[in-house]
Structure 1
Amino acid sequence: MGDEKNRLMWLGLYRTRHFVVGGMTILQVNGREVATGSTKVYMEELNMEKLRFISRVQIPEDSKVLLGLSFMVADQLLQFKANILGVQANVKKRRYTYLVEFIIENDSDRQSLLTFVNKIQLANKQKKLRSVTQIAVEVE
């Protein structure tokens, strides 16, 4: 039962044609604020609730981590907070795929998320993703 619920959690996301490149920073670990630098993330799927991305950074699974995510879309910096729902590790390639859930605290957060999802989906559908954001064909 638990495996089925975990598998279903990763479904229902909109896949982009190429990776959308953004930034990630760790804001809190187990409720304590931390200051970390930003690292690249490669988003591959999203919806209005969740986002799936690949990173080279391994975050301990047993820690409660608050992430800060940022993406430049149509010359607008969009920033989000998110909690980690799950991780799939490929230790050999040093690639970690994270499924995160957006934290929406107010209407401004909701509007930024709506703008982000709509612009990414529309540009992806029109095959113009490169013109609105930074993309990558593969993870660096």
Structure 2
Amino acid sequence: MKSPLPRQEVESWLRRYGWSPERDVGAEADALIRKAREQAAEYGISYAPSGHARAFVRNYGGLKILLHESPENYFLADPGFPCKGGAEEIGEFSRELGEELFPVGYDSYDGAVMLVDGRGRFFVMHHTGNYYLADEALQAVWNFKKGDTQDAEDFCV
């Protein structure tokens, strides 16, 4: 059972990294999304961002958020993916869910990729498996930091 979101604590934590509820990176978000789609196309994969993915990238895009005390462990809010096989894995995970997923960021330490589907559900693709994070961006980022997840198999078709 996920614990309730400590909204003030989470917002305060994220503000240290340049986030605010009204943050909008505009054209930079479009460039980040275009780059991610081009990167996937290089591997023969095609995916389109949902409105939820676009909204996340507009609000969080480009942020580098420290996850733990170690400066090399951060969440980069960039819709690219950290490893070559990531595009194929995203496609496979999308088929399992029956929903197209789009990457919105990743963990610099172990390459875990945060994804969002067309319904606004956030997931994480990790070398240990695929997991559900939340149905809302702020909660998803917090759960990503805390490792508070649920097995994605519960959401597969």
- The normalised TM-score by structure 2 is 0.29
Greater relative CO (CA pairs within 8 A, separation 6+) = 1
Q: Which has the higher helix share?
A: 2
- The normalised TM-score by structure 1 is 0.31
